[in-house]
Amino acid sequence: MLDLRPNCECCDRDLAPDSREAMICTFECTFCTDCAGGALAGVCPNCGGELVRRPVRPAAMLTKHPASTKRVLKAEGCGPARAA
């Protein structure tokens, strides 16, 4: 089950569980559309994977399976993808 992380790892923008502005990779690294499409050019800086729009969990299911509250932020910020 997806964590639905609450923020962009680059700019720390809040991303609500129902946000259509959240992008993720296969490891659930989470970025806003501005960072994903801008500095990251659609590539996760952590793993080199493709960034795609994160699905929205239906509100009724959020009660049973809430979104994560753990914020993840890249201390060095985000530049062009340079994954291992």
- The one-digit pLDDT tens for each residue of the chain (84 residues) are 899 999 999 999 999 999 999 999 999 999 999 999 999 999 999 999 999 999 999 999 999 999 999 999 988 878 665 544
What are the chain's domains? 1-68 (3.30.40)
Cα–Cα distances in Å, from 42 out to 2, 28, 61, 84? Answer: 20, 14, 29, 16
Q: What are the tokens at 52?
A: 């795609």
Question: Quick one: pLDDT at residue 75?
Answer: 80
pTM of the model: 0.88
